[in-house]
């Protein structure tokens, strides 16, 4: 499968976009101040001067991680292609982070599609079962709910308008497809949804605030047409009537709309990049707050946010041979630190990150990445009122905290130890350790004389760490169960076996888990199906090609079911005009080789041939997709390989082998036979209309030499879970190709 994810930042004074990834961090929980007699983090939070305080007035500090992906065309946080969402959240918790910044797009809120880029099996068991068939918002619900149950808090971040891999190129908070009115309406939708009591655990709401827009910026594509801050002399003062560009005016409107829904939510307002000709990181310039602060309709709910990165992302002027930790402190104080020092409002460094080489984590070299990162951590140690979230958790990111498999151990223990030094523990997870049980299938059928499996998942609650012993009661007579792992700390595959005389009908099987004095239960509705003698048919090749004037063979296998012992007579229908079939053995009780013969004038194209088997009153059917190809040599060949594939999603790789004429641009077309859809495609520009898919070359891969091969084209798609046939015919620049 192909993933090309990351985050992009654009420095205000340059024309190019700098794409960077960010890395996920895991850290040990350490407090920066003496523990309070009152539990830290209770209820909704608000501000007091430069500090964020909880509902009891106890000082708290955001010390968290960014987990991205929901803002991309996947519409789902990343890494779930490798791990269960609970596993990743437990890692975040165990490594000492107290809050997660989750980016999303307006397109996600308004279209709310059903994401598919997650695995159903990992670490020896079924995972992510709760995500199956859910919409993007329902998946966020699931992730937010579990995060809250283990004591984590969440900040939702409006990262961009259309789903995509970078920040918004225009630097604005809206696009033509998602204007400002939509942006505000979508925020009201999110505020309403995540203020629901279902996201409150032990009296503590999980979603504590909203980051109104990721990285507003003024300069881009050589023009200052993006977001400006009130009072900016370089933009004629960025007048408040200029709602098309004035970011503080827009932020105030959105913040007040959210507070009208829930006045207890924190409102996070990022800086832009330039103010009166002084420029820095996108989202990282809050100089304008000194003379033009934001005032919301509800006091003590505003937090200013800045992003900060090192010279590996862009060589800012303050990175040079004279850079010192003190000079960096001066830069941070100039752009955003002064707001906290003056007690104006709290400050949150919503993004900062570095890669996993030791030199880029700690260094004394002036102007280096390592000097910047180590100095910023030291600055945050010295200024405990300043909050932070590291970019990013994601294992596929340049600045990843975790590895590509999203394993629990951080890639760099050095970086994790530095981040651990500025962490801040919260109370508020489940106070009673325990666990829950859930089957992968709550209803299950088993035929007499057969087996069936179900997977029980143990979910830890409140810091539970024990192993759980499983037992089943209520089994029908003649049915037994075997446990793949028992006791288990994660999952166990249960194999039910029914004798040929097992009692047919419906039964409720109760699965009880026990760990010491703690127990939990779940149920499976088990149906025992009586055994009726019959048979099934299956071809050795469900798709088959035959050239005009040639023959091709396929083998039909008869499989006995329920003690069937008869012989089966085969017949074929739906043959293309000009194609006949001969049977090697007919009737048969095992296999029969079918030989298809096409005349030189046989109809070209794909046809569904139905093979029917009959034995007395019992019949069974199977199908073969038979494609007749022209006898003249093809000028091209297409290799189409499906891998991987689960119950709802699949990946495919395509290789083009060109014919005898070189081409400088290409268009590849095919049609799906089973309702498949392309979700995302790389190394080509794809459109789909119904079953027909058209892919054009990218600017960099249009040329294919005579006899040359082009690799690297692939896509992720969805299928119906039953049939995922390889397309029968491809055309390259209008010419039919041979399909392998």
Q: Which sequence positions are flagged as catalytic?
A: 215, 351
Region 515-539: mean pLDDT is: 90
Contact 150, 98 (CB under 8 A): no
* Confidence at residue 632, expressed as pLDDT on a 0 to 100 scale: 62
* Confidence at residue 432, expressed as pLDDT on a 0 to 100 scale: 62
Dig out the tokens for 303 from the structure: 């937090």
Contact 81, 127 (CB under 8 A): no
Enumerate the CATH 2.60.40.290 domain ranges in the chain, comma separated. 637-739
More confident residue, 5 or 295: 295
Contact 318, 375 (CB under 8 A): no
* Confidence at residue 222, expressed as pLDDT on a 0 to 100 scale: 63
Residue 245 pLDDT exceeds 80: yes
Residue 487 pLDDT exceeds 70: yes
Residue 12 pLDDT exceeds 70: no
Q: How confident is the model at residue 633 (pLDDT cuts 50, 70, 90)?
A: low
* Confidence at residue 20, expressed as pLDDT on a 0 to 100 scale: 31
Region 368-382: mean pLDDT is: 97
* Confidence at residue 512, expressed as pLDDT on a 0 to 100 scale: 95
Residue-wise DSSP of 130-176:
GGTT--HHHHHHHHHHHHHHTT-EEEEEEEESSS-SSS-TTSSS--S
SS3 of residue 182 by DSSP: helix
The CATH H-level superfamily of 434-529 is Immunoglobulins (2.60.40.10)
Region 130-137: mean pLDDT is: 93
Q: Which of 233-237, 245-249, 661-665, 708-712 has the highest mean pLDDT?
A: 245-249
* Confidence at residue 463, expressed as pLDDT on a 0 to 100 scale: 63
Residue 691 pLDDT exceeds 80: yes
Q: How confident is the model at residue 202 (pLDDT cuts 50, 70, 90)?
A: confident
Q: How confident is the model at residue 296 (pLDDT cuts 50, 70, 90)?
A: very high
* Confidence at residue 269, expressed as pLDDT on a 0 to 100 scale: 98
Task: Extract long-range pairs of 172-179: CB within 8 Å, 24+ residues apart.
Answer: 172/216, 172/226, 172/227, 172/244, 172/245, 173/212, 173/213, 173/216, 173/227, 173/247, 173/250, 173/254, 178/106, 178/107, 178/110
Residue 357 pLDDT exceeds 70: yes
Enumerate the CATH 3.20.20.80 domain ranges in the chain, comma separated. 7-420
Tokens 């009891």 -> residue: 56
Enumerate the CATH 2.60.40.10 domain ranges in the chain, comma separated. 434-529, 534-629
Residue 700 pLDDT exceeds 70: yes
More confident residue, 147 or 563: 147
Contact 129, 443 (CB under 8 A): no
Residue 553 pLDDT exceeds 70: yes
Determine the topology of domain 7-420 in CATH: TIM Barrel (3.20.20)
* Confidence at residue 416, expressed as pLDDT on a 0 to 100 scale: 96
Q: How confident is the model at residue 15 (pLDDT cuts 50, 70, 90)?
A: very low
Residue 449 pLDDT exceeds 70: yes
Return the HEC string of 254-291. Answer: HHHHHHHHCCCCEEEEECECEECCEECCCCCECHHHHC
* Confidence at residue 37, expressed as pLDDT on a 0 to 100 scale: 36
* Confidence at residue 4, expressed as pLDDT on a 0 to 100 scale: 32
Dig out the tokens for 401 from the structure: 């905290």
Region 530-550: mean pLDDT is: 90
For the segment 53-77, what is each residue's pLDDT rounded down to a tens digit? 999 999 999 999 999 999 999 999 9
Q: How far lies 373's CA from each of 91, 272, 338, 508, 515, in Å? A: 23, 21, 20, 58, 45
Q: How confident is the model at residue 389 (pLDDT cuts 50, 70, 90)?
A: very high
Instruction: Identify any residues that bridge with 18 across adjacent strands, giving them in sequence order.
Output: 9
Instruction: Identify any residues that bridge with 612 across adjacent strands, giving them in sequence order.
Output: 571, 621
Please give the Cα distance from 654 to 45 (Å, whole number).
52
Region 673-685: mean pLDDT is: 94
CATH number 2.60.40.290 given to 637-739: yes
SS3 of residue 67 by DSSP: coil
* Confidence at residue 50, expressed as pLDDT on a 0 to 100 scale: 97
* Confidence at residue 457, expressed as pLDDT on a 0 to 100 scale: 87
> 314 Cβ partners below 8 Å, 6+ apart?
9, 11, 14, 18, 281
pTM (predicted TM-score)? 0.59
Q: How far lies 254's CA from each of 100, 211, 293, in Å? A: 21, 10, 15
CATH number 2.60.40.10 given to 534-629: yes
Residue 22 pLDDT exceeds 60: no
Q: How far lies 626's CA from each of 350, 535, 723, in Å? A: 57, 24, 15
Residue 32 pLDDT exceeds 50: no
Q: How many other C-beta atoms are found inside a 10 Å radius of the C-beta of residue 213?
A: 30
Average pLDDT, the chain: 90
Contact 433, 463 (CB under 8 A): yes
Tokens 């709550």 -> residue: 442
Residue 429 pLDDT exceeds 50: no
Region 562-586: mean pLDDT is: 93
Please give the Cα distance from 119 to 88 (Å, whole number).
13
Region 545-574: mean pLDDT is: 91
Q: How confident is the model at residue 459 (pLDDT cuts 50, 70, 90)?
A: confident
């Amino acid at each position: 499968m192909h993933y090309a994810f990351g985050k992009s930042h654009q420095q205000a004074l340059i024309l190019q976009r700098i794409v960077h990834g960010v890395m996920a961090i895991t850290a040990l929980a350490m407090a920066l101040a003496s523990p309070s007699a009152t539990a830290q983090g209770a209820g909704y939070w608000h501000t007091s001067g430069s500090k964020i305080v909880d509902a009891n007035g106890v000082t708290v500090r955001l010390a968290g991680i960014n987990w991205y992906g929901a803002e991309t065309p996947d519409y789902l946080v990343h890494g779930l292609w490798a791990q269960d969402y609970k596993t990743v959240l437990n890692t975040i918790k165990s490594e000492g982070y107290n809050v997660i910044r989750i980016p999303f797009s307006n397109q996600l809120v308004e279209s709310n599609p059903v994401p598919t880029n997650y695995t159903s099996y990992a670490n020896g068991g079924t995972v992510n079962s709760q995500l199956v068939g859910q919409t993007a918002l329902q998946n966020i619900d699931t992730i937010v709910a579990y995060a809250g149950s283990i004591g984590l808090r969440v900040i939702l971040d409006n990262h961009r308008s259309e789903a995509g891999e970078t920040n918004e190129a225009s630097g604005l908070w809206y696009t033509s497809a998602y204007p400002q009115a939509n942006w505000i309406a979508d925020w009201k939708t999110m505020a309403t949804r995540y203020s629901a009591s279902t996201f409150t655990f032990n009296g503590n709401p999980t979603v504590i605030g909203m980051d109104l827009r990721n990285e507003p910026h003024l300069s881009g594509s050589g023009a200052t047409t993006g977001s400006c801050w009130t009072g900016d002399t370089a933009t004629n003062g960025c007048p408040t009537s200029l709602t098309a560009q004035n970011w503080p005016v827009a932020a105030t409107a959105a913040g007040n709309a959210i507070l009208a829904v829930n006045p207890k939510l924190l409102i996070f307002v990022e800086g832009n990049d330039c103010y009166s000709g002084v420029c820095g990181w996108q989202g990282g310039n809050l100089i304008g707050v000194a003379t033009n602060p934001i005032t919301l309709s509800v006091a003590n709910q505003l937090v200013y946010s800045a992003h900060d990165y090192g010279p590996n992302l862009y060589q800012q002027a303050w990175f040079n041979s004279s850079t010192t930790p003190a000079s960096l402190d001066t830069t941070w104080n100039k752009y955003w630190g002064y707001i906290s020092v003056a007690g104006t409002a709290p400050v949150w460094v919503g993004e900062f990150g570095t890669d996993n080489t030791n030199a880029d984590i700690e260094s004394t070299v002036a102007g280096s990445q390592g000097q910047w990162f180590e100095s910023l951590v030291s600055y945050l140690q010295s200024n405990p009122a300043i909050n932070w979230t590291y970019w990013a958790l994601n294992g596929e990111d340049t600045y990843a905290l975790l590895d590509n498999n999203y394993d629990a151990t951080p890639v760099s223990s050095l970086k994790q130890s530095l981040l651990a030094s500025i962490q801040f523990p919260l109370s508020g997870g489940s106070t009673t350790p325990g666990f829950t049980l859930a089957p992968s299938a709550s209803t299950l059928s088993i035929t007499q004389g057969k087996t069936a499996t179900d997977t029980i998942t143990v979910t830890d609650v409140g810091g539970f760490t024990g192993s759980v012993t499983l037992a089943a009661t209520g089994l029908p007579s003649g049915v037994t169960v075997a446990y793949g792992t028992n006791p288990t700390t994660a999952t166990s595959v249960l194999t039910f076996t029914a004798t040929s005389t097992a009692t047919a009908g419906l039964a409720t099987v109760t699965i009880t888990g026990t760990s010491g004095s703690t127990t939990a239960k779940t149920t499976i509705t088990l149906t025992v199906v009586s055994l009726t003698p019959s048979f099934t048919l299956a071809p050795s090749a469900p798709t088959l090609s035959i050239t005009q004037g040639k023959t091709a063979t396929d083998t039909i296998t008869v499989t006995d079911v329920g003690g069937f012992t008869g012989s089966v007579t085969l017949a074929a229908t739906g043959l293309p005009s000009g194609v006949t079939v001969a049977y090697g053995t007919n009737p048969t009780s095992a296999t029969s080789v079918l030989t298809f013969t096409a005349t030189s004038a046989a109809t070209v194209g794909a046809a569904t041939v139905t093979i029917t088997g009959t034995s007395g009153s019992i019949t069974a059917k199977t199908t073969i997709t038979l494609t007749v190809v022209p006898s003249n040599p093809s000028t091209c060949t297409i290799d189409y390989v499906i891998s991987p594939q689960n119950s709802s999603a699949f990946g495919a790789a395509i290789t083009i082998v060109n014919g005898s004429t070189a081409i400088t641009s290409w268009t590849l077309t095919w049609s799906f036979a089973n309702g498949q859809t392309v979700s995302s495609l790389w190394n080509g520009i794809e459109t789909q209309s119904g079953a027909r898919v058209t892919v054009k070359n990218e600017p960099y891969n249009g040329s294919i030499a005579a006899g040359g091969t082009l690799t690297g084209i692939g896509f992720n798609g969805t299928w119906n879970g039953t049939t995922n046939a390889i397309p029968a015919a491809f055309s390259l620049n209008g010419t039919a190709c041979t399909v392998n």
